[in-house]
Amino acid sequence: MFHHLLVPLDGSSRAEEALPLAAHIARRTGGTLSLLRAVVPELAAAEGSSLYSLQAGVLAEEVQETLTQEAKEYLEHLTHSELLEGVPLRTQVLAEPPVPSILSYAQSEHVDLIMLCSHGYTGLKRWALGSVAQKIARHSPVPVVVLPERDLLSPLYHPEKTRPVRALIALDGSSLAEATLLPTAQLVALISPAATQGELHLLRVIKPPSHPEEHKYLKYDIDIQELMYREAKNYLQVVQDRLVNELAPRRNLQVTFSIEEEADVATTLIRAAEMGGGIAAESYDLIALATHGRGGIKRWLVGSITERVLEKAKLPLLIVQPDMPTASSSSSEET
């Protein structure tokens, strides 16, 4: 469960768009919300200019102190906002680059979920939130919700809306990719109104076999496409049954699945999420992916797919890093 949430902020109103959802989840779980502001010295961004040579000494210290004080006042102002009223809060200002600051804080303070927007301001006082979001999603040891820059009437942007959340979960047949299942179920249940039923839709994209692969199996009178489809369906049925028995009853969730055959997995995932399907016709509210999976003839490489979806998707994402196997147990896997 998400009992400690972290929202990194860069001082922009865009970055603050992650706060409504974070506050909503904290209230539902009775958890704590941490607001972190990483202060990058203003002069450090001016390298190459005449000011850069003045970083050393008193001026650099004064600039750092000023930026740190501004950041503390900014976070203090947020803690008194109506939006965060009643939510247990922590604030932290760190004079370090944002990515290591965020990752270090998440680990040392036992954060359960990081929530941030994919775009913010750049410039002398603010860091590039977009690139930070990608790096955090790539390396975070805990699940990360990334909210792209798009004004959607979605429960993830407006958790006060009273409709169930629909999540599309990308699976490649590996246990690594299945690391998304529990966090997604928890998130969907927490955002969906208590009396409604959220949906988890499992999607498996099968990449068409190459001609040499087809020829190899035809020698044994085996239709490789039919074999791959049957294997994918059996796999999804097993996962669906497990979720229905273990997670769905306790969290009021409905679980569905589908299979698509396409060479471009990332584009297919995004299109399927935006077009919708499953129980309803509207688009999904969330795409859930793992940072690592397994490659091969039957499975696509989740890591590279996740990178592309993170770059191009216009829907909110939940990115989960699975527990990686040891070297001795993973010698036959591509990660």
Q: Which are the contacts of 199, defined by CB distance < 8 A and separation ≥ 6?
A: 164, 165, 166, 167, 188, 253, 254, 255, 256, 278, 279, 280
Rounded to an integer, what distance in angstroms lies between the CA atom of residue 247 and that of residue 240?
A: 10
Portion of the chain with pLDDT greater than 90, in percent = 48
Reference 2, options 50, 40, 34; nearest CA is: 34
At 215-242, the pLDDT tens digits run 666 655 567 778 889 999 999 999 999 9
Q: How confident is the model at residue 66 (pLDDT cuts 50, 70, 90)?
A: confident
78, pLDDT greater than 70:
yes
Q: How confident is the model at residue 96 (pLDDT cuts 50, 70, 90)?
A: confident
288: β partners: 169, 318
The average pLDDT across 116-126 equals: 59
Rounded to an integer, what distance in angstroms lies between the CA atom of residue 58 and that of residue 53?
A: 12
Contact 230, 168 (CB under 8 A): no
Q: How many CB atoms lie within 10 A of CB 61?
A: 12
7, pLDDT greater than 70:
yes
51, pLDDT greater than 80:
no
Reference 333, options 300, 290, 294; nearest CA is: 294
Contact 247, 253 (CB under 8 A): yes
Q: What is the pLDDT of residue 273?
A: 93
Q: What is the pLDDT of residue 48?
A: 47
Q: How many CB atoms lie within 10 A of CB 256?
A: 16
Q: How confident is the model at residue 60 (pLDDT cuts 50, 70, 90)?
A: low
Say which residue the tokens 């928890």 belong to.
186
Q: What is the pLDDT of residue 216?
A: 66
pTM of the model: 0.84
The rounded mean pLDDT for the chain is: 82
At 176-229, the pLDDT tens digits run 899 999 999 999 999 998 778 899 999 999 887 766 666 666 655 567 778 889
Chain-centroid distance of CA 45 in Å reads 28
Q: What is the pLDDT of residue 32?
A: 98
The structure tokens listed for 313 are: 């998707």
Q: What is the pLDDT of residue 21?
A: 95
Helix, strand, coil: what percent of the chain each, to 5? 45, 20, 40
Q: What is the pLDDT of residue 217?
A: 61
Q: What is the pLDDT of residue 45?
A: 46
Category of 110 on φ-ψ map: left (φ > 0), alpha (ψ -120 to 50) or beta: left
Rounded to an integer, what distance in angstroms lies between the CA atom of residue 240 and that of residue 253?
A: 11
At 134-166, the pLDDT tens digits run 889 888 999 999 998 766 677 888 887 778 899
The structure tokens listed for 140 are: 């975070």
Portion of the chain with pLDDT greater than 70, in percent = 77
Rounded to an integer, what distance in angstroms lies between the CA atom of residue 84 and that of residue 90?
A: 11
At 263-313, the pLDDT tens digits run 899 999 999 999 886 555 578 999 999 987 654 434 444 457 888 898 888
What domains, with CATH codes, occur in the chain?
A: 4-147 (3.40.50.620), 166-329 (3.40.50.620)
Which has more pLDDT, 280 or 115? 115
DSSP string of 90-110, one letter each residue: EEEEESS-HHHHHHHHHHHTT
Which has more pLDDT, 326 or 163? 163
